[in-house]
């Protein structure tokens, strides 16, 4: 069963870029929510990976598992899922590596506002697919509403920039301010060691003996699908918390692999 969590504050510790106040966003009907709280710990998947279901491709290639930090002690990982193949494979790799995973689906657009314009809701299909993937490997899924933050810190900012003749990249803003900004802040006190996603990128963390060293963003194995540009504005505190299991795999390998 899907559980809906409320928009969480305080968000975004680092100051946002100066600029005009956010534009008013469209009104929408209130939605039910369940508050996400450290007082009620989230469920997590068992650290051991289950046997593959019939027809599922078994993950056995050592270098792929190694990209999911398999040599580390079992970690608690918050995995961002979208219902697509890439994030599904990232979740499967982390689970196969023995980590305790909780999946999170971020609603960052205003789906409820446009129900009168479309007879179908594409995001609903994405969420159902994400739930099916999580059910298959016994990983819990949480739904987090961040549409207000997305409007205030991405859409409104972009509109103001367009008015001034500037064209910021929305994906760069979303990664910095929402996925690894507002969301990271929201789960800060819930005991997760890392946040992971299906980005084609690689983060090299410092060894234990040099814990004060920097975490370095590197190109992924797939130079065509590489997404480091969209992650290039992330700060050191953000990079230190991230895992990108697809950094060692190509898009074709991901599409042919487990989902």
Residue 256 above 70 pLDDT? no
Q: Which of 19-28, 34-43, 177-186, 190-199 has the lowest mean pLDDT?
A: 34-43
DSSP annotation string for 234-256: --HHHHTTEE-GGGGS-HHHHHH
Residue 45 is assigned to a structural domain of this protein: no
**What pLDDT was estimated at residue 253?**
76
Residue 39 is assigned to a structural domain of this protein: no
DSSP state, 186? H
Whole-number percent of the chain with pLDDT over 70: 67
Q: How many domains does the chain have?
A: 1
Which of the four pLDDT bands, split at 50, 70 and 90, describes residue 234?
very high
**What pLDDT was estimated at residue 249?**
87
Q: What is the CATH number of the domain that holds 182?
A: 3.40.50.620
> Which ranges in 198-244 belong to alpha helices (H)?
236-239
Higher-scoring residue by pLDDT: 211, 10: 211
Q: Which of 82-86, 175-179, 205-209 has the lowest mean pLDDT?
A: 205-209
Residue 140 is assigned to a structural domain of this protein: yes
Residue 137 domain boundaries: 3-8+60-256
Element (H, E) at 148: helix 147-150
Higher-scoring residue by pLDDT: 88, 39: 88
Residue 74 is assigned to a structural domain of this protein: yes
Instruction: Report d(CA 176, CA 114) in Å as an integer.
Output: 26
Higher-scoring residue by pLDDT: 22, 53: 22
Residue 29 above 60 pLDDT? no
Residue 160 is assigned to a structural domain of this protein: yes
Residue 53 is assigned to a structural domain of this protein: no
Residue 141 above 60 pLDDT? yes
Instruction: Report d(CA 184, CA 181) in Å as an integer.
Output: 5
**What pLDDT was estimated at residue 250?**
87
State the average pLDDT over residues 37-41. 40
Task: Give the count of beta carbons closer than 10 Å to the beta carbon of residue 245.
Answer: 32
Residue 36 above 90 pLDDT? no
**What pLDDT was estimated at residue 255?**
67
Residue 36 is assigned to a structural domain of this protein: no
Residue 79 is assigned to a structural domain of this protein: yes
**What pLDDT was estimated at residue 72?**
76
């Amino acid at each position: 069963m899907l559980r809906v969590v409320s928009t969480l504050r305080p968000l975004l510790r680092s100051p946002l870029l100066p600029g005009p106040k956010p534009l008013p966003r469209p009104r929408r009907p209130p939605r039910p929510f369940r508050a996400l709280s450290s007082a009620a710990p989230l469920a997590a998947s068992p650290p051991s990976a289950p046997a593959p279901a019939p027809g599922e491709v078994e993950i056995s290639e050592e270098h792929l598992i190694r990209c999911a930090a398999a040599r580390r002690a079992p970690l608690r990982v918050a995995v961002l899922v979208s219902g697509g193949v890439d994030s599904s494979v990232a979740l499967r790799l982390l689970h196969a590596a023995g980590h305790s995973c909780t999946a999170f689906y971020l609603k960052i657009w205003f789906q409820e506002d446009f129900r009168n314009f479309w007879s179908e809701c594409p995001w609903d299909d994405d969420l159902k697919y994400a739930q099916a993937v999580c059910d298959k490997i016994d990983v819990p899924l949480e739904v987090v509403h961040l549409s207000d933050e997305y409007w205030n810190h991405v859409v409104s900012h972009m509109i103001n920039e367009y008015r001034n003749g500037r064209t910021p990249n929305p994906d760069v803003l979303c990664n910095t301010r929402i996925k690894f900004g507002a969301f990271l802040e929201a789960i800060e006190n819930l005991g997760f060691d890392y946040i992971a996603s299906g980005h084609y990128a690689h983060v090299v963390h410092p060894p234990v003996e040099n814990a004060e060293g920097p975490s370095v963003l590197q190109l992924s194995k797939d130079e065509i699908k590489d997404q480091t540009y969209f992650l290039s504005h992330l700060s050191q505190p953000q990079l230190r918390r991230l895992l990108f299991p697809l950094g060692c795999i190509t898009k074709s390998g991901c599409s042919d692999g487990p989902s």
